Structure 1
Amino acid sequence: MNGESTAGARTGALVHDLLDEATAECPDAWAVTDGAGRWTYRELAAHSHAVDVWLEARGIGHGDRVLVQLPSVRELVALLYGTARRGAVLVPVNTGMKDYHLRAVVENAEPALVVVTDPAVERITALADGVPVLGLDGVWREIAELRAVEARSSGAQVGPEDIAVLVYTSGSTAAPKAVICPHGRMVFATEAIGLELGYRPDDVVFCRFPISWDYGLYKVLLTAAGRSEIVLADGESDLVLLRRIRETGATVVPIVPSLATMLCALAEREPRRESRVRMFTNTGAALPKSTAEGLRAAFPGAEVVVQFGQTECKRVSVLPPAFRDAKPDSVGRPLPGTRAFVVDEEGTPLPPWETGEIVVEGPHVMPGYWRAPEQTARTFRPAPDGGLRLHTGDFGHVDEDGFLYYEGRRDDVFKHKGVRMSTTEIEAAATDVPGVRAAAVLPPAPGRDLAVFAAGEIDPHVLLRELSLRLEPAKVPGVSRVVDELPLTAHGKHDRKQLARILEGNAP
């Protein structure tokens, strides 16, 4: 293994080291599958070297940004590793990003090259302001020719602090902002998560999420670290997901609550069948207990592993299955080699069970936001003993064993009728009500009462009555709405802007 080790995870390795080590150990094992085919680790590594040579011929060098707006296919995985070899920076953008935000990303990232699907070339060229924009079909023909002759570049100097990827995330700002992700910190995060999740060489990871989202991106890296296979299923129809999970022999299925709810609904419509799934991993938002139980019923023997994190450090904590019953409300313990705790407004650590802001320290904390010094200074602050302390904007507490308990975002924590509360606790109470599949809470605002939205089969008045049996009076919403489905953002979180429009009667 290359680089220094911290609790089993390295701080000095490079992103493409993960691929090269997997290739050396199991060259003929399956690495990546998409709707068009399958590559072994040997084939993926060869394609990544061809990408490196192709980029070199295009004049792409150290630190240059390569923006890609592509679906999650094998070619994109090869572009990730090949760009890393070149010492350049991959900028993966969601295919659903509209031109308004894409123009802002291009202006901020200043890419030296853009690769998109062929039908998008003309449209993207018009907003890329002179940057070369190439279609994937033509690009891949050239790369395939280099792959056929086993081309290798002259090599590039790449270090662990060099940037490997810029991950754009909307967060709470109007324009997307990019988290800077250096090689060494990405590898550390990958291996530390791997120590907790235990990916194995016989695992098949069914990944529904785009590589432009860090949840999908790190699944590519985690499977390489575990010598596992990743199935890129971002383009699969919702209606065939259950069948595809079985057909591909998936053993690990990353989920967000909306996907979990969908899988449970699909499973209820057909007789129970055997599957190889041994683990679901959840992130993005809290998974209702009823949904977790539904997954375990539909996939006997499968564990549902709770995770908590954000792109700025990739993962804060993981709750190992062994602690599911003892710590049912926890979001887990910090990753090996890291620290996560809560502080007051002055940054002083708080004792167990006292609520404060969750902060994170460790080699997985990224160095900041790309070309956004003010936002970086607010979020990434010097730690007292050196390094960086990530101020997550999430609130919660720890117990006496150091396990974290999430209570909500800064925007989710509010006072109502003189009582401090969070949307998370009210949503949890709502999903405990029979007939409620999922729930979302809209905090009060001028001219608007505290409101709860539920997807399921229940009368709005019954929901409020049931909540009055579970919550203290000040925490019971004044307004209840039952909808067919809760509106979600692209990352599977509650779309509060759309909820507000529903409440105001202005939803389309």
Structure 2
Amino acid sequence: MTEAPRTPAEEAAGTGSVHILLDRAASSRPAAPAVRDTDGAWTYAELDAAADAWAHWLTAQGVRRGERVLARLGNNRAFVALLFGALRAGAVFVPIGTAMKSFHLKRVLQDAEPALVVTAGADTELLRTFTDAPVHDVARVRLPADGEGAPTGRRVGGRTADDDLALLVYTSGSTASPKGVMSPHRTVLFATAAIADRLRYRHDDVVLNVIPFSFDYGLYQIFLTVAAGAELVLPGADSHVALVARLHEDRVTVVPVVPSLAQLLLRLVARDRRAAPPVRLFTSTGEALSGSVLRGLRTAFPSAEVAPMYGTTECKRVTILEPGEERARPHSVGRALAGTEVLVLDTAGRPLPPGETGEITVRGPHVMAGYWRAPELTRERFRPDPATGLPVLHTGDFGHLDADGYLYIQGRRDDLFKRRGVRTSALEIEAAALDVPGVRAAALLPPAEGKDMLLVVAGGLPAAEVLGRLAERLEPAKVPPACHVLPELPLTPHGKTDKQRLSTLLTGRSAG
């Protein structure tokens, strides 16, 4: 019997450390453009040299294999070089978003216990108040030139095993504080290759990414672009109004979006009188793109396909609807990645037949290694398969499969949702509200039936002040658009906030 050929994802599994992606690109396409930001551009040879310089510098600072290197830099070339440099040095890379407020920053730094932190500007002093680890301003780091640095020679590498951690990606969800998803080298490589197998980035692609690198959707644009030997364009956080100009000037062909970004692009394109930019592919995840947005993208970018996806940091990507399939299956988020499996289970953990809704579970080499220093939460979400003993990720999301294995999302747990492409939870927002002096109790009613989320608090502060204080603690996408202040919140017999009664109460007040 002839053995079936292995998929690219299967070939990539267990092939070394994540920095092998850059090693290959720099060897095969040294003069090709690699990454461009608002300050300049690097070829793959130049990115390779910059990554090596960071690896030497980190080694000289005493960073050892398995220790965490935390970066809060935004989307720029320095971040990309530091990422690969940390991986070459055997460190675990921890990307933190510039939008994360002190309320969460101090908890993440305490949890990650980094050996070293790299940030920029005023954040340098801020982060020093939360950690005893050295905190370096990237502008003041003197990287070694060729011939300087580590005594092992120019190349730093080979210090990691396949199952060593490559990344610690902090994500919000079912807990009040962000939790670190442990991502081994082997798993990151498999996920990258499996996604690439479905999306098929090309070496002549130009990928424009405005998704923050602190989110896995943005972070993996680095891996996918480098794996293809393509060019990554980083327009900067404050240049959204010039996005259409960048599409034209940089001849962008691939654009990852979330719904709010897609809507912004359509507004900007409507004001632009030039011919359509040469975009060939939009990828989308988080909240689903509405029908009007999809129609607008097809009209404004007639040469582009849209690839809806569904994923979670705990396994990076679950399903992808291949480019060209969206018109035939407009509400699907695609099939499971090659070499992986998606099952929909009932409340007893039994697989459901096509068409029936249950919890979405995932198994395969892309399932990450659990949560950092959170064994109970890991046991809850990463449960062993009774037959194989391999971990099965229970996403907490609900949907159904059709007869051909295409997944359709039906909803999420009541308190777990995505807004503006950002995964969050009611518990996280409530914890931040309770951190506001003067707030005695807090309850968040998640988005439902076309309504946005709503915060309800008990306390003596005006609603506007509560939201203002909350904006100091949370990223913009996690700040509710409205707040009600009540003398007290209704409670269940067990002493918990009765959200059903609360919702009924507010509905009655609105009607009155």
* TM-score normalised per structure 2: 0.80
2:300 maps to what in 1? 298
CA RMSD in angstroms comes to 2.9
Larger CA deviation: 102-111 vs 117-126: 117-126
Instruction: Check the 8 A contact 1:49/1:151 in 2, yes or no.
Output: no
2:320 maps to what in 1? 318
Deviation track 1:141-181 (CA, whole Å, cap 9, x = no partner) reads: 33457689996256442111110110001213111101001
Instruction: Check the 8 A contact 2:174/2:415 in 1, yes or no.
Output: no
The letter for the 2-side match of 1:170 is S
Deviation track 1:10-58 (CA, whole Å, cap 9, x = no partner) reads: 1112210111111111111111111111111111111111111111111
Deviation track 1:117-151 (CA, whole Å, cap 9, x = no partner) reads: 032222221221x2111110111x33457689996
Following superposition, the deviation at residue 499 of structure 1 comes to 5.0
Taking a change above 3 Å as real, the CA distance of residues 496 and 61 of structure 1, as seen in their structure-2 partners, is closer
CA distance in 1, matches of 2:202, 2:446: 50
CA distance in 1, matches of 2:394, 2:180: 16
2:390 maps to what in 1? 387
The 3-state SS of whatever aligns with 2:65 is coil
Count residues in correspondence.
437
CA distance in 1, matches of 2:332, 2:156: 50
2:36 maps to what in 1? 33
The 3-state SS of whatever aligns with 2:57 is helix
2:498 maps to what in 1? none
1:172 maps to which of 152, 171, 174: 174
Deviation track 1:59-91 (CA, whole Å, cap 9, x = no partner) reads: 101101011111211111011111111111111
The 3-state SS of whatever aligns with 1:323 is coil
1:142 aligns with 2:169: no
1:498 maps to what in 2? 481
Taking a change above 3 Å as real, the CA distance of residues 240 and 371 of structure 1, as seen in their structure-2 partners, is same
CA distance in 1, matches of 2:445, 2:255: 43
Following superposition, the deviation at residue 239 of structure 1 comes to 1.3
Following superposition, the deviation at residue 330 of structure 1 comes to 0.9
CA distance in 2, matches of 1:329, 1:268: 26
Structure 2 alignment gaps of length 5 or more? 420-442, 453-470, 486-502
Instruction: Check the 8 A contact 1:50/1:151 in 2, yes or no.
Output: no
1:407 maps to which of 401, 407, 410: 410
1:191 maps to what in 2? 193
CA distance in 1, matches of 2:389, 2:78: 40
The 3-state SS of whatever aligns with 2:49 is helix
CA distance in 2, matches of 1:446, 1:86: 43
CA distance in 1, matches of 2:206, 2:407: 29
Taking a change above 3 Å as real, the CA distance of residues 399 and 449 of structure 1, as seen in their structure-2 partners, is closer
Instruction: Check the 8 A contact 1:341/1:404 in 2, yes or no.
Output: no
1:479 maps to what in 2? none
The letter for the 2-side match of 1:291 is V
2:25 maps to which of 22, 27, 36: 22
The letter for the 2-side match of 1:275 is P
The letter for the 2-side match of 1:357 is E
CA distance in 2, matches of 1:324, 1:491: 31
Taking a change above 3 Å as real, the CA distance of residues 146 and 80 of structure 1, as seen in their structure-2 partners, is farther
Q: Which structure's relative contact order is higher, taking Cα pairs within 8 Å and 6+ residues apart?
A: 2
Following superposition, the deviation at residue 326 of structure 1 comes to 2.4
CA distance in 2, matches of 1:220, 1:183: 15
The 3-state SS of whatever aligns with 1:118 is coil
The percentage of counterpart residues that share the same residue type is 47
1:93 maps to what in 2? 96
Instruction: Check the 8 A contact 1:209/1:233 in 2, yes or no.
Output: no
1:110 aligns with 2:113: yes
The letter for the 1-side match of 2:349 is G
The 3-state SS of whatever aligns with 1:142 is coil
1:452 aligns with 2:454: no
Following superposition, the deviation at residue 453 of structure 1 comes to 3.9
Taking a change above 3 Å as real, the CA distance of residues 394 and 58 of structure 1, as seen in their structure-2 partners, is same
Instruction: Check the 8 A contact 2:415/2:446 in 1, yes or no.
Output: no
The letter for the 2-side match of 1:171 is G
Taking a change above 3 Å as real, the CA distance of residues 391 and 61 of structure 1, as seen in their structure-2 partners, is same
CA distance in 2, matches of 1:147, 1:277: 42
Structure 1 alignment gaps of length 5 or more? 415-422, 424-444, 455-486
1:246 aligns with 2:242: no
* TM-score normalised per structure 1: 0.80
Taking a change above 3 Å as real, the CA distance of residues 147 and 320 of structure 1, as seen in their structure-2 partners, is farther
Deviation track 1:289-338 (CA, whole Å, cap 9, x = no partner) reads: 11011011111211111111011111000111332232221110001111
CA distance in 1, matches of 2:287, 2:444: 27
Following superposition, the deviation at residue 388 of structure 1 comes to 1.1
